Amino acid sequence: MEFLCRITQDSGMDFGERNRAIFKRYLSENPGRLLKITPVLPESGKQRRFLEGAVIPLVTYYQEGMSHTSHEDCDKVREWLKLEFNGDFIEMHGKVHRIGKSTKGRDALQPFLERVVDWLIENYQPPAEALDPANFKHWHDTIRPYGGEAKYIDYLRSIGLL
């Protein structure tokens, strides 16, 4: 059993409405059980590969009329996500415009990726395994190079996660 939560400002954990009840029930039914708590997102340079290879295609997969295998659709989704989750307002000639800021660098990429993953979980509730960097790494390093599915989403579909 896996649970997703976010660390709060007061060092607590926020599971959301539905998951909080499930987690509390699990705790009461399993006293003394050892739990493993690990961060969901990969570190540094691997974040970009995870974003481009897993998160953006997964968002695209869930969008009606778009295909996760289409580079153009994934580009559109990436730009939309940058506007939505990393946007800034600028004024030009008396009009306010929203632009997507860069996600280059760890200080920009980490919070952007966290906001996108939070939104994705809240709106589509994908299986936790689909957003597990270890699963992505396994596919990327051991499945894909040896004739496996060329796209991570196709791999998830082939093993029955999506």
What are 122-161's pLDDT values in tens digits?
A: 999 999 899 998 899 999 999 999 999 999 999 999 999 9
Burial of 71 (0-12, 13-18, 19+ CB in 10 A): exposed
What are 86-132's pLDDT values in tens digits?
A: 888 889 899 988 888 888 876 788 889 999 999 999 999 999 899 99
Q: What pLDDT score does 150 carry?
A: 95
Handedness of CA 123, 158, 128, 81 (dihedral sign): negative
Q: What pLDDT score does 63 carry?
A: 96
Q: What pLDDT score does 44 carry?
A: 63
Burial of 21 (0-12, 13-18, 19+ CB in 10 A): exposed
Is residue 75 pLDDT above 90, yes or no?
yes
What are 16-56's pLDDT values in tens digits?
A: 777 888 888 899 999 998 888 876 655 466 888 999 999 99
Other CB atoms within 10 Å distance of the CB of residue 138:
13
Q: What pLDDT score does 40 carry?
A: 63
Q: What are the backbone dihedrals phi and psi of residue 99, each rounded to the nearest 5 degrees, phi first?
A: -125, 150
3-state secondary structure the chain: CCCCCEECCCCCEECHHHHHHHHHHHHHHCCCCCCCCCCCCCCCHHHHHHHHHHHHHHHHHHCCCCCCCCHHHHHHHHHHHHHHHCEEEEEECCEEEEEECCCCCHHHHHHHHHHHHHHHHHHHCCCHHHHCHHHHHHHHHHHHHHCCCCCHHHHHHHCCCC
Is residue 77 pLDDT above 80, yes or no?
yes
Q: What pLDDT score does 8 carry?
A: 85
- The crossing angle, in degrees rounded to 10, of helices 71-85 and 106-124 is 100
